[in-house]
Amino acid sequence: MVRDGCSLCTSPSVAATRESLTISETCTGHTYSAVKVVDKNTQESVTLEKEIMGLDHPFISRLLFSFEDPQYHYLVTEFYPGGSLFDLIKRKGRLSEKQALFYAAEILLGLEHLHSKGYLHRDLKPENIMIAADGHTKLIDFGHQSTEEYMAPELLGESEGKFSEKSDYWSLGIILF
């Protein structure tokens, strides 16, 4: 693959439970992480995700660029060497109260910004919260495929029309618990 005259080299890796690609530009040596590889049959989801990742906020993953091949869309973001919040909790066993408050505050600020722009996350879970190189959180995966373990009880088995900002806050509460 070529972008702006640079070759893009890909190598597969695993982030949380999903496959991802690590992408490096040969002419700059810059490393990105393609967190999303999406089938072209889900165009509406990709468009929404690109809009959200275009928001300028320190706790929301930023879309650096995207490209496609005949079968897939590739959404390329910054590389998050800290892994996911899920990975961090798994390594440490449990976060201190100070760490939990720090991450909760950043997640809350990210959610408030999303909501102020008319968007919902709808799949907030530790696997969708990345830790950047500077230790701060980045919300990812805005494809709206909710995970039951983090859904508000009234949403279980319901259609997508029932989601609200409260649903995202419920998910944050479950993460904190």
Percent of all residues in the chain with a pLDDT value above 90, rounded to a whole number: 36
Residue that the structure tokens 């973001």 belong to: 77
pLDDT, one tens digit per residue, over 18-68 is 445 566 555 566 666 655 777 777 777 788 889 999 999 999 999 988 888
Catalytic residues: 123
Do 120 and 171 form a contact (C-beta atoms < 8 A)?
no
More confident residue, 11 or 114: 114
Percent of all residues in the chain with a pLDDT value above 70, rounded to a whole number: 68
More confident residue, 105 or 8: 105
Residue 125 pLDDT: 92
Q: What tokens does 114 get?
A: 């999303």
Tell me the C-alpha distance between 135 and 108, whole Å: 16
pLDDT, one tens digit per residue, over 16-32 is 334 455 665 555 666 66
- What domains are there in the chain, each with its CATH number? 2-78 (3.30.200.20), 85-176 (1.10.510.10)
Report residue 111's pLDDT band, with 50, 70 and 90 as the boundaries: very high
Tell me the C-alpha distance between 165 and 23, whole Å: 34
Burial (CB count <10 Å: 0-12, 13-18, 19+), residue 169: middle
pTM of the model: 0.80
Across all residues in the chain, what is the average pLDDT?
Answer: 79
Residue 2 pLDDT: 47
Residue 8: CB partners within 8 Å, gap ≥ 6? 1, 2, 23, 24, 25, 26
Residue 152, number of CB atoms within 10 A of its CB: 19
Tell me the C-alpha distance between 29 and 128, whole Å: 27
